[in-house]
Amino acid sequence: MASGDWHDWRWQLAHRVTSVGALLDLLGADFPVAPATRAALERAGAASVVSVTPCYLALSRPDDPRDPILPQVLPDPAEPAGAAAGSGVPDPFREEELEIAKGVVNRYPDRALFLLTNFCSTLCRHCMRRREWEGGFTRLADAEIDAGVAAIAARPAIRDVLLSGGDPLNLPSAYVGRVVRALRERCDLDLLRIGSRVPVTLPLRIDDELLRELAPAAPLWLNTHFNHAREVTVEAAAAVRRLAGAGVVVSNQGVLLRGINDTEGDLLDLSRALLRAGLRAYYLHQCDPVAGVRHFRVGLARGIELVRSLQGKVSGLAIPRLTVDLPGGGGKVQADGPQLLERRGDTFVYASPLTGARIEVDGSEGSFGGAGIWRERGIAWPA
Ligand SMILES: *Cc1c(COP(=O)(O)O)cnc(C)c1O
Ligand code: SF4
């Protein structure tokens, strides 16, 4: 590959790796797999959608038994098995029922999610919205954006809009600019934020053209999604600095993932790397009960202990809140916060911050089945 192209984010987008076969071919001898395993991986890929930017894939070290990159993008044979076994549902938070306009989800009275696209340059295997990947990638049309902004403007109780998807920052700069300008002009908001993994998976996309579109809407907040210190590269840190220079406040929302960041050392390293890059840790999400994602879940009791282990070792600025999104659209709670009413073994009972209802959460550890490539390599993941 010509190195000049490598540094062009449009080249990275155009050269996404979109099949398991292509991904394994690229890794080649660095990641030797037996034919039967390759077939199982390709089946898992064919049952879903695969995509990764070359620059994100290049962060992987396949010979490292705890490589945190590859398992986030290479489908595991446990994915389709988990989905078929009914462990998880496509839309546990009933987002689709709460839409007030196409793409606008209004669950909390004061907040709205504005889902602009279902496209991400890099598809995380643990994604809570992976149901959206089927049927091709789209984005809201201009008229749909206008209708969404109008629906938000018509509900003055909405003080906070979160642009999400998919990943809004893979969209053309002018498109993003149009959305933030319309929201600033037509809605009275306390908070306008963007959820984007672009600083992690395609950091060079945070270019001057995009920043020129974002800067007039400042203060903007951006929550990104680093899960491991190895992802906090020089390029990613530079992207965060460029955003900060344009008046964008950047924080991190990671996901607690089995085999990827579920040791005290992983979390401490991540916290320190975030601080060095000028990022504050906001949430660490408990992996949601989404179909095909179950095998990534860390037991809730263990997750609570892991996050507590950071206390006294690093600034509070770098200690995330372990967050559980209550099933059925009950809202988000801190795993060991005041809404935790009761714990019976692996069942955690929370009070919904929205309705006060008692909601049970399965806090059990995920388990891996099938012919996981990782087991073949004789390592502990998947066990
Ligand atoms: C998570 C979430 C938000 C934002 O929640 P914060 O706790 O303010 O970060 C808003 N709407 C929905 C539907 C959400 O799931
Ligand atoms: S970047 Fe976010 S929305 Fe996109 S695949 Fe990953 S978790 Fe899902």
Residue-averaged pLDDT of the chain: 92
Tell me how far apart the terminal alpha carbons of the chain are, to the nearest angstrom: 37
Residue 382 is predicted with a pLDDT of 45
CA distance 374 to 383: 8
Residue 229 lies in a domain: yes
Residue 142 lies in a domain: yes
68 plus 203 within the same structural domain: no
Q: Please give the single-letter amino acid code of residue 65.
A: P
80 plus 127 within the same structural domain: no
Residue 375 is predicted with a pLDDT of 60
User: How many other C-beta atoms lie within 10 A of the C-beta of residue 226?
Assistant: 23
Which tokens belong to 328?
């059925």
Structural domain span for residue 24:
3-84
132 plus 55 within the same structural domain: no
How far, in Å, is the centroid of ligand 2 from the Cα of 125? 8
Q: β-strand 321-326 against 280-286: which pairing, if any?
A: parallel
Strand order of the β-sheet with 321-326 is 99-101, 104-105, 111-115, 160-164, 191-195, 220-224, 248-256, 280-286, 321-326, 331-334
Residue 371 is predicted with a pLDDT of 44
195: nearest Cα among 224, 215, 175: 224
Residue 365 lies in a domain: no
Model pTM score: 0.95
Residue 265 lies in a domain: yes
Residue 383 is predicted with a pLDDT of 40
3-state secondary structure of 342: strand
* C-alpha radius of gyration, the chain, whole number: 20
How far, in Å, is the centroid of ligand 1 from the Cα of 105? 10
Which tokens belong to 80?
């389709």
269 plus 135 within the same structural domain: yes
Residue 63 is predicted with a pLDDT of 82
Residue 339 is predicted with a pLDDT of 98
Q: Please give the single-letter amino acid code of residue 25.
A: D
Ligand 2 pocket at CB < 6 A: 120, 123-124, 127, 129, 165-167, 197, 225
157 plus 259 within the same structural domain: yes
The ligand with the least distance to the CA atom of 170 is 2
273: nearest Cα among 219, 236, 316, 321: 236
Mean pLDDT per block of 10 residues along the chain (383 residues) reads 81 97 93 85 92 97 88 87 61 81 95 97 94 92 98 98 96 98 98 98 98 97 98 98 97 95 97 97 93 88 98 98 94 97 97 96 78 56 44
pLDDT one-digit tens code per residue, 66-95:
899 999 999 988 787 665 555 567 777 777
Query: Of 36, 52, 84, which residue is a domain's last?
Result: 84
185 plus 289 within the same structural domain: yes
